[in-house]
Amino acid sequence: MIYKSNLINVQIEKSEIPWLKIFTNENIKEFSQCNQETKLEILEALDIIEKEMLEYFKPEKINIASFGNYVPHVHFHIMARFKEDSYFPEPMWGKQQRESDLKLPDLETFYQNVLNKLNKA
């Protein structure tokens, strides 16, 4: 976990690509069941993470997904996608297309940048 507030937390998904997840701290099944304050904090974190991914990694595309069939708890995946990643243009849960040829900047610096921006929000 790289960030936690009273309402949400941000976790790292181990992957070949930059991939963060935002969870509600409270076990809420659907986004529509969140109160307004939680919804706004989720959306603000999504915005911060996406902008930092775009600026820091300069990916081909950012993917944002929310589905929790295995984990019925509100959470969002934010993934920086690259033509050189193993699955592009397929989703990361899809069929592997090739071996990855990614050369990314330091992930720890990215995580620290995100943490700094979330703490200022």
- The predicted pLDDT at position 114 comes to 98
Contact 98, 83 (CB under 8 A): no
- The predicted pLDDT at position 119 comes to 97
Chunked into runs of 10 residues, the chain (121 residues) has average pLDDT values of 97 97 96 97 98 98 90 93 96 93 96 98 90
- The predicted pLDDT at position 23 comes to 97
Contact 20, 78 (CB under 8 A): yes
CA distances from 99 to 3, 32, 82, 83, 86 (A): 31, 39, 13, 11, 5
Say what the pTM is: 0.95
Chain position carrying tokens 């690259």: 82
Per-residue burial over 31-64, b if 16 or more Cβ lie within 10 Å, else e, is: beebeeebbebbeebbebbbebbeebbebeebbe
Q: What domains does the chain contain, in order, with CATH numbers?
A: 3-113 (3.30.428.10)
Name the nearest CA neighbour of 8 among 29, 30, 38.
38
Coil, helix or strand at residue 31 = helix
